[in-house]
Amino acid sequence: MDAEKVKSAMFAAGAGEHENYTQCSWQTEGKGQFMPIHDAKPVIGKIDQIEIVPEVKVEMMCHKDKIKNVVTSMKNSHPYESVAYTVIRMEEI
């Protein structure tokens, strides 16, 4: 996966901003596992075969008013057929 391409798209949509900083993110490298089934059109791998690939998990903050645009930008720039992602609400105390 081209993490830099996806991050750039998300930053352009308004993610990664915090006070006097922009393009803030956290990323970790790991291994992803999946097995495409039925009508999947995988970028990597074959139907009914387990695939283990190096992947990068990217985390960044996003103002609630920009979440929909950021998620859309992430999905449109990501090379995979289906993107795994989570949105977690943060509260300032």
- Give 82's contacts (C-beta < 8 A, 6+ positions apart): none
What mean pLDDT comes out for the span 32-56?
94
pLDDT of 9-43, one tens digit each? Answer: 999 999 999 999 999 999 999 999 999 999 999 98
- Amino acid letter, residue 11: F
Residue found under tokens 């977690």: 88
Residue found under tokens 């490298």: 29
CA distance 32 to 29: 10
Cβ atoms of 10 and 26 within 8 Å: the answer is no
Q: Name all domains of the chain by residue range, CATH numbers in brackets.
A: 3-77 (3.30.70.120)
Strand positions, DSSP E, the chain: 26-34, 51-59
pLDDT value of position 2: 86
pTM for this structure?
0.88
- Give 26's contacts (C-beta < 8 A, 6+ positions apart): 58, 59, 60
pLDDT of 59-73, one tens digit each? Answer: 999 999 999 999 999
pLDDT value of position 92: 85
